[in-house]
Amino acid sequence: MKHHIKSKSFYTHLQCHYCGRIYDKHKIHTFCQDDNQPLEAYYSFDNSWSKDSLRGRANNMWRYREVLPIENEENQISLGEGFTPLLQLAKLESRYDQSELFLKDESGNPTGSFKARGISMAVSKAKELGVKEMCIPTAGNAGSALSAYCAKAGIGAHIFMPEATPVVFQLDCEIMGAKVTKVKGNISDAANLMRSKNDGSWFDVSTLKEPFRLEGKKTMGYEIIEQLHWQLPDVILYPTGGGTGLIGIWKALQEMKTLGWLTHIPTRMVAIQVAGCNPVVQAFQKKLDYIPMYENPAPTIANGLRVPHPFGDRMIMKTLYESKGTAVSVTEEEIRQSLDEFAKTEGLFLSPEGAAVWMGYKKLKENNWIKPDDSVVLLNTGSVYKYVENLV
């Protein structure tokens, strides 16, 4: 007989990050109806939860269930996502005179990318709230993840992707039973077509247009700090398209401080973008707290970075300013050079987004924004094997 297991979660409510309006956690919500800004999950932290309680738990993202929004464990839709390796890059440390250099490698997640974390959480919560069909615009990896987790949950999936998306992503979605629509243009065009086709019966899980992908992504932050034995790195570099991972890692650090697990946060967050679509970099250079639309984004081998107007723009900028971070652009040629150097030195074939991060690191090291005694974490967000078409 199957028992209903109440999960030990401190989750209390949803709140607009911008205006502070509070939303009932028992109802289905997308984003704030007053100002079109993302909603965030809030928790009532209990000091009785200690780091020691993590010992012996499963090595996946659900080990942090107290700070995740799922209230009945039977609603967890999991394919084993999370607790990916944090690798020390000894040869590159030596070459670039860096005291500590690590790679958080997300390529081993289900469906081959960090998107598994956020989508696992979004689909789990959708199941808990009774959602029957979900939809997403995607440059690839998020579509693969939604198709897989919806298949496991028994929820219908509708995927809208640019025609230029590598074929492997389309196959990935279709074999999982999702309905795939190819769209002329970029991810914003895919989103527009999807909205026009949605009669309201599909739950839209576009980046930050629902609150729970962020909660899955933030587990990267918890893992990095746990894997560093509760020491914080000085710098975390993140490939930034929609920005959920960047925002999520910073949210995790704030939560750990509230829990009393950290006393202060010295970590600076860095957004890495491609030169042909760098709206975050441009906004940062102009000291804006929002991100204007980037017109005519150029094609890039790093599909996930071609996001001309991230919906969570204010949250991205707030993360960079609060953490005293920065934003850096890299070119297509620099990405290819980085892929080559990293593979030959550390034996790791990065995704184009991960390679962009490596080049961003080198630029910041060169201008002394990253110091030799800094501890640095790089993020590789997905598996390169899904990008083979882009690279040949």
Residue-wise pLDDT tens digits, 29-77: 999 999 999 999 999 988 789 999 999 999 999 999 999 999 999 999 9
- pLDDT above 80: residue 223: yes
- Say if CB 124 and CB 75 are below 8 A apart: yes
- 1 contacts: CB under 8 Å, gap ≥ 6: none
Looking at residue 302, its pLDDT comes to: 92
- pLDDT above 60: residue 144: yes
Phi first, then psi, for residue 215 (nearest 5°) are -70, -35
Geometric angle at alpha carbon 205, from 283 and 237, rounded to 5°: 40
Looking at residue 266, its pLDDT comes to: 97
Looking at residue 14, its pLDDT comes to: 98
Average pLDDT, the chain: 95
In one letter, which amino acid is 116? A
Question: How is the beta sheet containing 22-23 ordered, strand by strand?
Answer: 22-23, 11-16, 39-43
- Dist CA 353 CA 321 (whole Å): 23
- 320 contacts: CB under 8 Å, gap ≥ 6: 269, 271, 280, 284, 326, 327
Average pLDDT over residues 174-181: 97
The pLDDT > 90 percentage for the chain reads 91
Task: Please write the tens of the pLDDT for every residue from 235-275.
Answer: 999 999 999 999 999 999 999 999 999 999 999 999 999 99
- Say if CB 283 and CB 317 are below 8 A apart: yes
CA distances, 155 to each of 92, 119, 125, 133, 332 (Å): 44, 13, 12, 5, 38
Place of tokens 């593979």: 343
Phi first, then psi, for residue 168 (nearest 5°) are -55, -35
DSSP of 256-300? HHHTTS-S---PEEEEEEETTB-HHHHHHHTT-SS-----SPPP-
Task: Please write the tens of the pLDDT for every residue from 350-374.
Answer: 999 999 999 999 999 999 999 999 9
- Dist CA 282 CA 254 (whole Å): 26
- Dist CA 188 CA 204 (whole Å): 14
- pLDDT above 90: residue 181: yes
Least confident range from 114-118, 305-309, 337-341: namely: 305-309
Average pLDDT over residues 301-324: 95
- pLDDT above 60: residue 390: yes
- Two tokens, residue 288: 């804006």
- Dist CA 320 CA 330 (whole Å): 18
CATH tag for 115-204 (out of 3.30.460.80, 3.40.50.720, 1.10.10.10, 3.40.50.1100): 3.40.50.1100
Q: How confident is the model at residue 1 (pLDDT cuts 50, 70, 90)?
A: very low
Q: How confident is the model at residue 391 (pLDDT cuts 50, 70, 90)?
A: confident
DSSP character for 382? B
- Dist CA 174 CA 322 (whole Å): 41
- 89 contacts: CB under 8 Å, gap ≥ 6: 101, 102, 103, 346, 378
Full-prediction pTM beyond 0.85?
Answer: yes
Q: How confident is the model at residue 6 (pLDDT cuts 50, 70, 90)?
A: low
DSSP of 25-71? TTS---B-TTT--BEEEEE---TT--GGGGTT--SSGGGGGGGSS--
- Two tokens, residue 289: 């707290």
- Dist CA 242 CA 139 (whole Å): 11
The topology (CATH level 3) of 86-113+214-391 is Rossmann fold (3.40.50)
Phi first, then psi, for residue 220 (nearest 5°) are -60, -40
